[in-house]
Amino acid sequence: MTVKNSQSNQRLIAIAIVVIIALLGINGYLWYSKINQDNLIDKHSSQLIESEKELAELEKTYYESLSGLEEMRTANGELNAIIDAQKEDLKAQRDRVSTLILTEKNLEEAEVELGKLRKMRDRYIAQVTRLKEENAQLSMSNDILAQEKVILTGEVQKEREANEELESEAEVLKSSNVELSTERDALSKTVVKASVIQVDDIVVNGYRIKNSGKESLTKRADKAEGLKICFEATQNTVTEAGVERFYVRVVNPLGETMSLEEMGSGIIEDANERQVRYTQYREMDYANVPVDVCMSWQPGISFGPGLYLIEVYNKGHLAGSSTFTLK
């Protein structure tokens, strides 16, 4: 009985020891788990605190950047469009950093991207500042140009008025010159007309060449081989003494001017600027006294019967005329 009790006690002691050891193991495990959980909680708490700090810094940087850009807005639509585009870039970078903090829990990369956000802000503000300065300089230049334009416009207006005045004076002078030229031309024509040497006593005879070579006058058209034309150049004290030229025009009964270029015929322009064909011309020295002038014209063609017209021109004016008949 004593032995059985002793064995029973030993068994109980062994069971108790096993239970105690198990309890100690459980306690140790629980203690270890608690320590790990505490460390994990501390780590998560630390990460959460860092995340919150990073988010706060992100929001601060982002809204400071927006505020800085907004302060630079002006009435310049182009510049404002650039600012709006920069704000969109900043927002995209802010969203990227926020994703790294909240979703990926990558604070190191988030810090790097936050640094990029700050650099973007500084670069954008510097860019807008430079553009504003350039716009201000451009505006100042435009103001100067506008002032210069006003001055130049005034000067141009003065020049235009001066030119108009000069043109008006030039028109007056031109009109005066035209009048003077007209008067001068009229006077010149008057002087020329006054200097025309009139001819008188125009005598025309037909002639034939005899076998002896001498000329013989004839009134018969079928016998005539040439014409001898004589006239008196009358006295004219207005014209200057010197060489004078007289153009003789012979018009046959058919109304045709008899002319042969190889015989000295040609064309002159009369006082009315009309083309007049002449038969022959004769030059002579004129000394302001009456003088007889004669010329012969032997064209080598036959003469028709009828009334012939003789015209003599001097200085483009008809100086005298007459008629004669060949039977």
CATH code for the domain in which residue 238 is found: 2.60.40.10
Same domain, 106 and 206: no
Euclidean distance between CA atoms 37 and 31, whole angstroms: 10
Q: Which domain holds residue 316?
A: 197-326
Which of the two residues, 92 and 189, has the higher pLDDT score? 92
Same domain, 100 and 19: yes
Tell me whether residue 280 is in a domain. Answer: yes
Give me the pLDDT at residue 43, please: 43
Weakest-pLDDT range from 9-23, 189-203, 253-267: 9-23
Report the domain count for the chain: 2
Q: Which of 134, 160, 180 is where one domain is finished?
A: 134
Q: Cβ(230)–Cβ(203) under 8 Å?
A: yes
**Tens of pLDDT along 274-299?**
999 999 999 999 999 999 999 999 99
Tell me whether residue 53 is in a domain. Answer: yes
Same domain, 228 and 126: no
Tell me whether residue 152 is in a domain. Answer: no
End-to-end CA distance of the chain: 212
Tell me whether residue 151 is in a domain. Answer: no
Same domain, 127 and 223: no
Q: Is the pLDDT of residue 125 over 90?
A: no
Q: Which of 227, 263, 233 is nearest to 246 (CA)?
A: 233
Give me the pLDDT at residue 44, please: 46
Q: What's the order of all strands across the beta sheet hosting 215-218?
A: 215-218, 199-209, 226-233, 291-297
Same domain, 211 and 100: no
Same domain, 308 and 210: yes
DSSP secondary-structure letter at 142? H
Tell me whether residue 7 is in a domain. Answer: no
Euclidean distance between CA atoms 150 and 180, whole angstroms: 44
Same domain, 314 and 239: yes
Q: What angle do CA 258, 262, 263 make, to 5 degrees?
A: 55
Tell me whether residue 32 is in a domain. Answer: yes
Weakest-pLDDT range from 29-38, 49-58, 213-222, 252-261: 29-38
Same domain, 102 and 211: no
Tell me whether residue 226 is in a domain. Answer: yes
**Between helices 77-102 and 107-195, what is the axis angle to 10°?**
170
Highest mean pLDDT among 72-76, 93-97, 281-285: 281-285
Same domain, 16 and 114: yes
Give me the pLDDT at residue 40, please: 41
Which of the two residues, 117 and 141, has the higher pLDDT score? 141
Q: Cβ(284)–Cβ(293) under 8 Å?
A: yes
SS (H, E, C) 154-181: HHHHHHHHHHHHHHHHHHHHHHHHHHHH
* pLDDT average, residue stretch 206-216: 89
**Tens of pLDDT along 23-73?**
666 766 655 555 555 444 444 444 556 667 766 776 778 787 777 777 778
Q: Which of 93, 119, 134 is where one domain is finished?
A: 134
Q: Is the pLDDT of residue 86 over 60?
A: yes
Q: Which of 134, 168, 184 is where one domain is finished?
A: 134
172-189 burial, b at 16+ Cβ within 10 Å, e below that, comes to eeeeeeeeeeeeeeeeee
Give me the pLDDT at residue 116, please: 75
Tell me whether residue 146 is in a domain. Answer: no
